[in-house]
Amino acid sequence: MKFKRMIGIILSSAMAAVLVSGSYATEIFAESDEFNEEGNIEMVSHTNADGEEEYALLLHGHSIFIDTSRVDDTYTKIYDDKNHNGLLDSSDPEIDIKSLGEEVGIDIDSYPNNGYDCTNVVIYGVGGFNDDYYSEHTGNVMITYKGGAIKGIVGSTGGCEQTGDFIFNTMGRDTGEVEFIEGAGAGTWNGDITMVIYGETPFHEVYGGSKNAETIVNGNVMIRSHETFTIAGVFGDSAYSPTSGGVYAGGEGTTINGDFEFWIQPNQEYTIYDLDSSKATITGEVKYTLSASHFYGDVRTNDKADATIKAGGISTCNENSVIYLNKDVVIDPSDTVIEYSRYGINIEPEIKALGTVIVKPTDESIVLTNADSYKGVNLLKNTGYVLNDQNEIVIGRANKDVMMITLETGTSQMLEPQLEIKGDAVKLPKPTRSGYEFAGWSDGTTTYAPGSDYTVPEADVILTAVWKSVSSGSSSSPTSSNGFVNKKGETYFYEKGKPVQNGFVVVNDKDKLVETIKPDNMEELSDSDYKAYYAKPDGTVAKAEWIVLDKNGKLIDTLPLGEFKKQYGNEYKVYLADTNGKLIRSWKDTENNWYYFNADFSAKYEYWQAHYEDWYYFDNYSYLKNTWHATDNGRWYYLDAEGKMVRNQWVDGCWINELGIYWSPIYSDPEFIANYKQ
Amino acid identity of 650? W
Helix (H, G, I), strand (E, B), or coil: what is residue 465?
A: strand
pLDDT digits (tens, 9 = 90+) for 478-513: 344 568 887 777 888 888 777 888 899 998 877 888
Which of these CATH numbers, 2.60.40.10, 2.60.40.4270, 2.40.10.10, 3.40.50.620, describes 402-469? 2.60.40.4270
CB-based contact 406:462 (threshold 8 Å): yes
pTM above 0.85, yes or no: no
Which superfamily, per CATH, for 624-677? Cholin Binding (2.10.270.10)
pLDDT classification of 327: cutoffs 50, 70, 90:
very low
pLDDT digits (tens, 9 = 90+) for 119-134: 999 999 998 877 655 5
What CA–CA distance (Å, rounded) separates 190 from 666? 70
- What's the pLDDT score for residue 5? 24
With 0-12 CB in 10 A as exposed, 13-18 as middle and 19+ as buried, what is 443? Answer: middle
Residue 84 CB coordination number (10 Å):
20
pLDDT digits (tens, 9 = 90+) for 226-267: 877 767 889 998 887 788 999 999 998 999 999 999 988 766
Q: Check pLDDT > 90 for residue 4.
A: no
- What's the pLDDT score for residue 629? 85
pLDDT digits (tens, 9 = 90+) for 84-115: 888 888 899 999 999 999 999 999 988 777 78
With 0-12 CB in 10 A as exposed, 13-18 as middle and 19+ as buried, what is 175? Answer: buried
pLDDT digits (tens, 9 = 90+) for 143-200: 999 888 999 999 998 778 889 999 999 886 667 889 999 999 888 999 999 999 988 8
Q: Check pLDDT > 50 for residue 647.
A: yes
Q: Check pLDDT > 70 for residue 667.
A: no
- Nearest one of 511, 519, 24 to 226, comparing CA atoms: 24
**Higher-pLDDT residue of 14, 311:** 311
The segment(s) of the chain belonging to CATH 2.60.40.4270 are 402-469
- What's the pLDDT score for residue 292? 58
Q: Return the percentage of the chain with pLDDT > 90, whole number.
A: 24
- What's the pLDDT score for residue 55? 92
The segment(s) of the chain belonging to CATH 2.10.270.10 are 483-597, 624-677
**Higher-pLDDT residue of 50, 356:** 50
- Mean pLDDT for 32-40 is 79
- What's the pLDDT score for residue 646? 93
- What's the pLDDT score for residue 475? 31
With 0-12 CB in 10 A as exposed, 13-18 as middle and 19+ as buried, what is 294? Answer: buried
- What's the pLDDT score for residue 532? 93
CB-based contact 642:241 (threshold 8 Å): yes
The H or E element that residue 122 is part of is strand 121-126
Contacts of 354 (CB under 8 A, 6+ apart): 315, 316, 317, 380, 397, 404, 417, 419
CB-based contact 135:128 (threshold 8 Å): yes
Q: Mean of the per-residue pLDDT values for the chain?
A: 76
Contacts of 466 (CB under 8 A, 6+ apart): 438, 439, 440, 441, 442, 447, 560, 561, 562, 563
Topology (CATH level 3) of domain 483-597: left handed beta-beta-3-solenoid (2.10.270)
Q: Check pLDDT > 80 for residue 24.
A: no
- Nearest one of 31, 28, 27, 6 to 190, comparing CA atoms: 31
What CA–CA distance (Å, rounded) separates 448 from 136? 67
pLDDT classification of 41: cutoffs 50, 70, 90:
very high
- What's the pLDDT score for residue 312? 41
pLDDT digits (tens, 9 = 90+) for 462-484: 888 888 877 543 333 334 456 88
Contacts of 464 (CB under 8 A, 6+ apart): 408, 410, 441, 442, 443, 444, 561, 562, 590, 591
What CA–CA distance (Å, rounded) separates 303 from 181? 24
Cis peptide before 519 (omega within 30 of 0): no
pLDDT classification of 7: cutoffs 50, 70, 90:
very low
Amino acid identity of 84? H
**Higher-pLDDT residue of 645, 591:** 645
Q: Check pLDDT > 50 for residue 214.
A: yes
* Alpha-carbon separation of residue 470 from 109, 441, 474, 489, 557 (angstroms): 56, 18, 12, 8, 18
The H or E element that residue 99 is part of is helix 97-103
pLDDT digits (tens, 9 = 90+) for 595-629: 888 888 998 888 787 776 788 888 888 878 888 88
